[in-house]
Amino acid sequence: MLDNFFCVRIAAFSLIGYFTVIAGPVFLDPKLPTHIGYPNRAYPPHSWIWWLFAPLALVLPYIGLQLVKSTEARLVVSMAPLLILAIAASLSFPPERPHFGTLLCGFGFALIILITVAFRVNGNDFAYIADASIPFESRLEQVKATAALWQSISVYAGAAYLAFAVSWIYAMWFTTEKIVSSPEDKYTFGQACVAVAVLVTICVVFGPLLEAFRNAFGAVAQISNVRK
């Protein structure tokens, strides 16, 4: 069974993802009148109603992770609410249907959730350590290999994401002129991209990276438990 704190973390990631999904069209788009593709966008006054669905993005993943038991079901229920809400919202802000920014944020945070849950539910299983029918050397080498694997995942995943984040911020900052035309809108759009990058980084650090390091440290701690 997944611990309560882990379920809260996943629910928080889903809620943060949903906030970015809705903040794009509701807050950012009206502040970009010189958007090259869709200038002077004015959405219906009732567009604020999408904020009322925020509790669903928080509560449904938490309840789902507490109730379901199978690995596949946990993967689905953890990210399905955010994906469904993001897809529905992307079709509700004409003339850009589907709204690209909304879909990008929704699928991006859903991917973070998916990897985090996968690392937890497919983490270390050390039941074989106490199995005396397996040779001592085999059990010891298996634990060492598991520890080395998760250590490699932790280090390389962290380095890869850092390179991706820097490249993403750089690319978005210097391609804003292809999206908006006025200097004020370029600055606003650039700042919004940086804000999303910060939120994504927080979720990655406390999501997949934290789980990878947790599995690595857990495997190292089990080495001393291997007995002949």
Predicted confidence (pLDDT) per residue in 85-109, tens digit: 999 999 988 888 888 889 999 999 9
pLDDT-derived band at 219, boundaries 50, 70, 90: confident
pLDDT tens sequence across 129-163 = 777 778 878 888 888 888 899 999 999 999 999 89
Task: Give pLDDT, residue 1.
Answer: 67
CA geometry: angle at 149 spanning 143 and 151, to 5°? 105
pLDDT at 119 over 70: yes
Which sequence spans correspond to the domains of the chain?
Answer: 4-225
Mean predicted lDDT score pLDDT of the chain: 88
pLDDT score, position 203: 96
**pLDDT tens, 15-45?**
999 999 999 888 888 888 888 878 877 777 7
| C-alpha–C-alpha distance, residues 58 and 68, integer Å | 17
Using a cut of 0.85, tell me whether the model's pTM lies above it.
Answer: yes
